[in-house]
Amino acid sequence: MVPDPPRLSLALEIHVQVGAPIDIGEVGGGRRRIVPILGGTFVGPGLSGRVLPGGADWQIVRADGFQELDTRYTLETDAGDLVYVQNAGIRRGPAEVMQRLIAGEPVDQSLVYMRTVPKLETAAPALRWLTQSLFVGTGERYPHDVVVRFWRVE
């Protein structure tokens, strides 16, 4: 008998405003890009706030368009608590879709697979559950922003 898989519950929906990518060029594993995080907002059950400017997504883009993501930024709740987010992931899709996405053009998000493994840290006692839970993330990349949803593994 196969046990039931864990349930997922939506923990956070984050709308991140991003700046123009900084293209470092070809490095060992592909093309390095750094996408600055300019700000944004987030909401979840019993919690909301803003994304602080100053983070970034350090990406490796392979020749076939496959992308490795390493995003780091800070959330500030409406109560003033700070949450550090480190979100590693991948993004892939058909080559022509990924070329358009990298060029900053709008694409059909149903054609893009974006999954992440977020890790959250905070000193706020009321938010300890963020540091003591596992999450998986899904994402959508638009020309000037990203929508990321963190799902808590129950």
**Domain spans of the chain?**
8-153
In this prediction, residue 130 carries a pLDDT of: 97
Tell me the average confidence (pLDDT) per consecutive run of 10 residues in the chain, 154 residues long. 95 97 94 97 96 97 94 98 98 92 91 97 97 97 94 98
Given CATH 3.40.50.620, say whether it is the number of domain 8-153: no
In this prediction, residue 51 carries a pLDDT of: 98
In this prediction, residue 76 carries a pLDDT of: 98
In this prediction, residue 104 carries a pLDDT of: 87
SS3 labels along the chain: CCCCCCCEEEEEEEEEEECCCEEEEEECCEEEEEEEEEEEEEEECCEEEEECCCCEEEEEECCCCCEEEEEEEEEEECCCCEEEEEEEEEEECCHHHHHHHHCCCCCCHHHCEEEEEEEEECCCHHHHHHHCCCEEEEEEECCCEEEEEEEEEC
